[in-house]
Amino acid sequence: MKNKTEADDVFQDAFITLFQKIHQYKFKGSFEGWAKRIFVNEALEVLRKKQRQLHIAVNNEVQIEDTNVSNVENYSNSISQNELLDHIQQLPDNYRMIFNLFVFEDYSHKKIAEKLNIAEGTSKSLLSRAKRLLRSKINDETSKKVS
């Protein structure tokens, strides 16, 4: 979510859903995994609704100039974890959603495409754009620190 208030709302709604569906837990697999799926699905649903309301079109997204750096991870020593998380939070909603699902939730592009009802190539493209945008922001910040 873009801010703490939105995240708190989604978190609360996910807890309500979890308690409403607790009787559906079959004691197969871990409870944490089952609960995590509810929380992730709740967040995805909120983002889907938001995306429909904003009529976000992938083709209208700003193209970010590519840099020579291959991975966002190369910058882990350049900035703090909090600074990196702030940059991730500032990504456009669709970039942030794909980035978080791929990097933090360890979803494949195929799984992301199924969950969001988009093409697998769209997931890959959005992740690539998110990484380029992060690289650009981190490069700018790193160059400011050096100056």
- The domain limits of the chain are 1-55, 67-147
CATH 3.90.1150.10 fits 1-55, yes or no: no
pLDDT tens per residue, range 104-143: 888 899 999 988 888 999 999 999 999 999 888 888 877 7
Whole-angstrom CA distances from 127 to 38, 112, 137 are 23, 11, 15
**pTM beyond cutoff 0.75:** no
Arithmetic mean of pLDDT, 68-88: 59
Retrieve residue 101's tokens. 């699902």
Q: Label residue 103 exposed, middle or buried (CB < 10 Å: 0-12, 13-18, 19+).
A: middle
pLDDT of residue 133: 92
pLDDT of residue 65: 31
Q: Which CATH number fits domain 67-147: 1.10.10.10, 3.40.50.300, 3.40.50.12280, 3.40.120.10?
A: 1.10.10.10
pLDDT of residue 71: 41
Residue bearing the bigger pLDDT, 40 or 54: 40
Q: In the chain, what is the straight-line distance between the N-terminal and C-terminal CA atoms, in Å?
A: 33
Q: What does the alpha-carbon distance between residue 37 and residue 87 come to, in Å, rounded to a whole number?
A: 25
Residue type, 50: K
Topology agreement, domain 1-55 and domain 67-147? no
pLDDT of 85 > 80? The answer is no
Whole-angstrom CA distances from 42 to 11, 17, 82 are 8, 8, 25
